[in-house]
Amino acid sequence: MHTNKIATLALAAMMLAGCYNPNITDSPEVEDLKKELAELRKSDSELRSKYIAQNEELSSILNELASITSKTSDLRLNVEMGAARLTQAEQISKSISNIKGRITALEKAADAIGVKNKEFQTMIDGLNNVLEEQRQQIDILKVEIETKNRTITSQKDTIAMQDMTIKKQMLELEKTVAHQAKLLYEAGKELETMGDQVPEVSWKKNKEKVEEMRQNLYRKALEYYKQSYAEGYYEAKDRISALIAKIQAN
């Protein structure tokens, strides 16, 4: 429309100029037409610049939308593999909001320069539909990520509680074993003392029975000492050596 008007004004200026004597100054009408022509040319140049800028912005939006689609696919794959982070989804959501704002600005710019038509609106609606689909997909993926994060946190808490329970049970077991080892040592010591206190007899037959009794007490005491030592009561080591020597001496 601007181009047609420029052509019309240029033609009118030429026709008016042709009616004048070359020695006579241009009339005000011709000057007005020249000014209007210059303004229209300037306006047409600005319009072309805005139209080019609009196309460049549209191309940039399409590239960014393709990037978002790719990132959404990558995020979905990460969710399936259990490696997705909520920050990934948040970044994509911000990009979607940013593009939504740029599309709105593009519509306003199209209104301002008078190029908004049915085809343009159809294209804008298509872009908005794609953006909405991406937004819905991201929202779904966010829920999946948050659900998995809660599950992982719950599992970690369960593992931590089980670990604490196991450590507590191990500690109690160690205490029990230590106590049992000490009891075995004391039982062995008691049996060794009983063996030491077996009365001496003079009659040979009785003496053999008494000695057998002593050896049995010593051997049982030695068994207890060895069990005590095996369970960590290291004081039993010296008693084992001493008792073996005592058994061999008898």
Task: With respect to residue 227, please indicate whether it lies within any of the assigned structural domains.
Answer: yes
2 vs 158 pLDDT, higher one: 158
User: If you average pLDDT over residues 224-237, what whole number do you get?
Assistant: 92
- Does residue 112 sit in the same domain as residue 169? no
Could you tell me the pLDDT band of residue 40, with boundaries at 50, 70 and 90? low
- Does residue 180 sit in the same domain as residue 237? yes
| Mean of all residue pLDDT scores within the chain | 80
pLDDT digit string, tens, across residues 121-149:
888 899 999 999 999 999 999 999 999 88
- Does residue 24 sit in the same domain as residue 112? yes
For the cut 80, the answer to whether the pLDDT of residue 204 exceeds it is no
The reported pLDDT for the residue numbered 199 is: 78
User: If you average pLDDT over residues 44-68, what whole number do you get?
Assistant: 78
Q: Range of 92's domain?
A: 2-116
The reported pLDDT for the residue numbered 19 is: 47
- Does residue 28 sit in the same domain as residue 107? yes
Contact 131, 103 (CB under 8 A): yes
Task: With respect to residue 179, please indicate whether it lies within any of the assigned structural domains.
Answer: yes
pTM: 0.55
The reported pLDDT for the residue numbered 47 is: 60
Task: With respect to residue 77, please indicate whether it lies within any of the assigned structural domains.
Answer: yes
Task: With respect to residue 53, please indicate whether it lies within any of the assigned structural domains.
Answer: yes
- Does residue 106 sit in the same domain as residue 171? no
The reported pLDDT for the residue numbered 26 is: 54
Task: With respect to residue 125, please indicate whether it lies within any of the assigned structural domains.
Answer: no
Task: With respect to residue 98, please indicate whether it lies within any of the assigned structural domains.
Answer: yes
Q: What whole-number distance in Å separates Cα of residue 226 and Cα of residue 232?
A: 10
